[in-house]
Amino acid sequence: MNSFRKRKVFIVLFLLFTNYLLAGNNEDGSKLWFANFLLPAEYEGPQISSVVVSEESPTFSLIRSELISSLGILFDQEITSMTEPDAGSICVGAIKNDFIAELINPEAFQEIGNEGYIIKYLPEKDMTVVAANTDLGCLYGTYHFLSVLRTNPQELTSTPIIETPAYDRRILNHWDNLDGTVERGYAGHSIWKWDDLPEKLNPRIIEYARANASVGINGTVLNNVNASPDILKEEFLQKVKVVADALRPYGMRVYLSVNFSSPKILGGLPDSDPLKTEVKNWWDNKVQEIYELIPDFGGFLVKANSEGQPGPQDYGRTHADGANMLADVLKPYKGIVMWRAFVYNPSGDDRAKQAYNEFKPLDGKFRSNVLIQVKNGPVDFQPREPFSPLFGAMEQTTLVPELQITKEYLGFSDHLAFLGTLFEEFLDTDTYQKGRNTTIARITNGDIFNDPVTAIAGVANIGQDTNWCGHHFAQANWYVFGRLAWDPGLSARDIAKEWLELTFSQNKRFIHEMSRVMMESREAVVNYMTPLGLHHLMGWSHHYGPEPWCEIPGARPDWLPKYYHKADDFGIGFNRSSTGSNAVEQYAEPLQIMFDDPQLCPDKYLLWFHHLPWDYTMSNGRELWDELCYKYSEGVDQAKLFKATWKNMSKYVDQQRYDEVSKKFDIQVKEAIWWRDACLLYFQTFSEKEIPVELDKPVHQLEKLKQLKFDMTHHN
């Protein structure tokens, strides 16, 4: 070999080696946001060599082992467990413990409640203290300490960190069926593995509990809202008990979705009329049976008289009659009822108005342990919707915001769409219901109304896939739900950065570039799927891909895209203004006036509230048709840019995750183009206008797109 070639080989080998060092070993995503890494050389926070956990309980022993193993990795040294604190110790304990009281002023504890905590570094002693009123508070403090140690250690030595959660109940809703499938799940089968229970617990359930506790999630509804009555059979309750026992040390309480007809189906009663004594007795006995097995059981989630599910209206009773009966039965055990407001009926003129119309008149009629669970938007978890007008309108009822973490309408687990921006936009929206700055977060977390208990729910995106959520970046949606449920004041951008650091790499360029991608990603999906307030354009039943033309003989009209986009020769959009369905009336002023007038209505909601001519002049001077073309086009460009950005990230991430995410971006770009072409070509048949010449031309033909048939099996 001549010396030039030798040098070339050497350079190639050298590059491969450095690449290997930088990228580290392959990661399969199973570690979630607990990536193993050493603290960087420039780390200047406390040096920790020992752990003192002052008390004993299952939760305290978790805290001890978590600190020993995590700090051992971070400091790359053995961390000892001691009984007396010393310089270099981290001390964790509850206020009732004398030695913690000596280290931290006990008065501080009055404010932090049952789940809050204080993290304080004592420079004169060189000790870090994590203190709380309860062992659960200490657990949350421990996880927060570990996260701050990795992402922002200066914070630990500057001022004490004092945290309390905004919502009392921060709950995941699993739409897991008892046969192991997951409704709208795109990450494999259910992690509960019901068939193995009660004998065998899936070890992943412990990791799941740890992950949830690390972001402050404290409850989980185990089964689908389209609930099988079988969940309440003795055989299943034994399984539920085993899961509940496993989750308990992590502060996770178990809840169940129940089928309103259970007394009839399981108990053999003639019906399930909530006002009948024998029906109530049946529930009484069932609830007693549950609490004997699971003393801290959280309560029920109920989807009633919605999409074919049974409910009190089957017997001429109201939602309040049904919810209150269950609430009375649960009350002695401090259980709650989360009753969903997701109701709509094909006979109404506008689906977006119906939940409000049914529930608003019931305000003041619910027991104090009934919480009404309301989806963020008035229709159904679309890429963008205005908020549901119920928020703020029910002053005497506690409302639970329901967010969807699984991406039923945002590209399943194939597209990168960071939902932090969606959740933030929603929680920060001012409802104006009680004057200015009555945001949805403040309306629902007890700031504005005096709710006895508050809650927030997220429909989980978790399954048996090795990387838990189907797409590596979809883990961030689970993470951000937890973080915002704890503190809705946090910014989505900061959370994205924090998650990237904990999950992938501390490299500044990587975090900068990828947090930008994450922050733009949901808007990109809105642009290439449903810009300018369009909604519900997706495929029938599976909800994947564009089908704005969809027609199914005999189908419910409100399940078809045409009901929503109303494209015709004149224009496009749903007239919900005062000249149309008047859904705007359900909002407080000044929103009502704003939404009602196309000149004042924000572009992002324009076609949600208005049916406008194709040549309508937008605020930027473009014609509506052109603007639509620009938006679809922008979405495709954004997806392409994400893919290109990721291409430059290979040196910062391991090969396996790099490759897997690359493949997802290939799909995302391809499907963004599919969405653009399908929607523009179809709407063009009405507008009869040209796509602006400066934009990319469609690559598909409408007739061919209409003929596509899907095999959805690979998506589950």
Point out which residues pair with 623 in neighbouring strands: 617
Q: Please state at what angle helix 655-687 crosses helix 508-529, rounded to 10 degrees.
A: 30
Is the Cβ of residue 560 or residue 601 nearer to ligand BDP in the bound state?
560
Planar angle of CA 383, 387, 392, nearest 5 degrees = 160
Provide, rounded to whole angstroms, the least separation between the CB of residue 460 and ligand BDP: 13
Amino acid at 205: I
Provide, rounded to whole angstroms, the least separation between the CB of residue 226 and ligand BDP: 5
Provide, rounded to whole angstroms, the least separation between the CB of residue 311 and ligand BDP: 12
The yes-or-no answer on residue 380 being catalytic is: yes
Provide, rounded to whole angstroms, the least separation between the CB of residue 352 and ligand BDP: 14
Confirm if 250 and 212 have CB atoms less than 8 A apart.
yes
What is the C-alpha separation between 59 and 654, in angstroms, rounded? Answer: 34
Of 438, 447, 430, the residue nearest 386 (C-alpha): 430
Burial of residue 689 (number of CB atoms within 10 Å: 0-12, 13-18, 19+): middle
Is the Cβ of residue 225 or residue 399 nearer to ligand BDP in the bound state?
225
The yes-or-no answer on residue 307 being catalytic is: yes
317 Cβ partners below 8 Å, 6+ apart? 273, 274, 275
Confirm if 529 and 657 have CB atoms less than 8 A apart.
no
Amino acid at 585: E
Confirm if 518 and 410 have CB atoms less than 8 A apart.
no
The yes-or-no answer on residue 408 being catalytic is: yes
Is the Cβ of residue 493 or residue 543 nearer to ligand BDP in the bound state?
543
Is the Cβ of residue 48 or residue 182 nearer to ligand BDP in the bound state?
182
Provide, rounded to whole angstroms, the least separation between the CB of residue 197 and ligand BDP: 24
- Residue, CB closest to ligand BDP: 380
What is the C-alpha separation between 423 and 219, in angstroms, rounded? Answer: 19
Is the Cβ of residue 225 or residue 329 nearer to ligand BDP in the bound state?
225
Is the Cβ of residue 112 or residue 301 nearer to ligand BDP in the bound state?
301
Provide, rounded to whole angstroms, the least separation between the CB of residue 195 and ligand BDP: 23
What is the C-alpha separation between 484 and 419, in angstroms, rounded? Answer: 11
Confirm if 272 and 262 have CB atoms less than 8 A apart.
yes
Confirm if 22 and 655 have CB atoms less than 8 A apart.
no
Of 390, 384, 478, the residue nearest 440 (C-alpha): 390
Single out the catalytic residue among 380, 425, 465, 520. Answer: 380
Provide, rounded to whole angstroms, the least separation between the CB of residue 326 and ligand BDP: 18
End-to-end CA distance of the chain: 53
Single out the catalytic residue among 179, 292, 307, 569. Answer: 307
Q: Please state at what angle helix 135-151 crosses helix 204-214, rounded to 10 degrees.
A: 80
User: Site residues (CB under 6 A) for ligand BDP?
Assistant: 183-184, 225-226, 303, 307, 342, 380-381, 408
Is the Cβ of residue 237 or residue 323 nearer to ligand BDP in the bound state?
323
Is the Cβ of residue 174 or residue 303 nearer to ligand BDP in the bound state?
303
Sign of CA dihedral 172, 184, 552, 699: positive
Q: Per the structure block, which two tokens stand in for 31? A: 């570690």
Provide, rounded to whole angstroms, the least separation between the CB of residue 175 and ligand BDP: 7
Task: Just list the catalytic residues.
Answer: 307, 380, 408
